[in-house]
Amino acid sequence: MIETVIPYRKRTIGGFNVRRVLPFSKRRSVGPFVFVDDFGPMEIVNDASLDILAHPHIGLATVTYLFSGRMTHRDSLGSIQLIEPGEVNWMTAGRGIVHSERVSDAGNDPATSLAGLQTWVALPESIEETEPSFAHHGSDELPLVEEDGIRLQVVLGGCYGVKSPVATVGKPFYAQCDLAAGHTIEIPVDIDERAAYILKGQVLIDNQPFQPGNLVVFGKGGAEIKAEKHAKFMILGGDRLEKPRFMWWNFVSSRQELIEAARMDWQKGNFEAIPNETGFVPLPEGNFPRVQPL
């Protein structure tokens, strides 16, 4: 059963034109996922126009997953990691971390486009001020489920009889599914909150057709997706957040005062810097708005 359908909205972040799915006015989160941006495909140019400069996070974990192209991750822990299609970067911000994601130094073929998803997972309240950390997993580490007409890569969590090696918190589930025309996949019923984001093709859910760019949030009970044409989509979700989160700019927390403190720390230069990087993203202009709970 369908609970909500969320269409993407166009946003611009630096040189990126993105399709923002979460947060949404009528649905602020799905499980622990509080932010979903779909970017690309976009032409890769040999300059820094697609680079995301150093910026801070608190209270969340970022999840970077690419479909094409390459990026270089750097952070204030000293991590330097190239990420390619089918791989995943999981970065726990906790009490605070700074990172950048650059295309210009990732060795991209000029004929290659850049496309992927950036999602944020809210950390459980009990550990939202934990120490920051970073982990990378290659595509060969992420388990595959391949059946007649179905190819599913489990990025986070466990389901369909397999479990991702990514060490997560908050029990998120995240998977990419390729579904051949005429085939059907059932959505796991043991996940508290579940949704599917359509990337390619056309699917039927509850006998309703859906095109790319829609996040379909499922209600309780059984649900399935049928591909009318070859389709690609992400399945995401997990346990419902134990309490609402506040969110402003790159900061997520169960307490508004932590967001206000992080804002001041970034403004005063109190966050730890990325080694050998000087460029950064400044705070948004204007007065600090009243943050809204998710």
Please state, as a whole number, how many other Cβ atoms lie within 10 Å of the Cβ of residue 134: 22
pLDDT at 291 over 70: no
Banded pLDDT at 186 (limits 50, 70, 90)? very high
Whether the per-residue pLDDT at 16 is higher than 70: the answer is yes
Q: Whose structure tokens read 């909205």?
A: 9
Exposure string (b/e) for 232-257, b if CB count within 10 Å is 16 or more? bbbbbbbeebeeebbbbbbbbbbeee
Domains of the chain: 2-238 (2.60.120.10)
Where are any strands of DSSP class E within 88-170?
A: 88-92, 97-102, 113-122, 133-137, 144-147, 150-156, 158-159, 162-163
Q: Please give the share of the chain, as a percent, with pLDDT higher than 70.
A: 96
| pLDDT, tens digit, 9 for 90 and up, residues 192-234 | 999 999 999 999 999 999 999 999 999 998 899 999 999 999 9
Burial of 146 (0-12, 13-18, 19+ CB in 10 A): exposed
pLDDT for 107? 83
In this structure, of 81-85, 105-109, 176-180, 230-234, the range with the lowest mean pLDDT score is 105-109
* pLDDT (tens digit per residue) in 123-158: 999 999 999 999 999 999 999 999 999 999 999 999
Q: How many CB atoms lie within 10 A of CB 120?
A: 25
pLDDT higher than 80, residue 48: no
Q: What is the DSSP string of 188-248?
A: PSSSSEEEEEEEES-EEETTEEE-TTEEEEE-SS-EEEEESSSEEEEEEEESPPSS--EEE
Query: 134 CB contacts (<8 Å, ≥6 apart)?
Result: 73, 75, 77, 79, 81, 89, 90, 91, 92, 97
- Average pLDDT, integer, range 97-110: 90
In angstroms, the CA 284 to CA 270 distance is 17
Mean pLDDT in the chain? 93
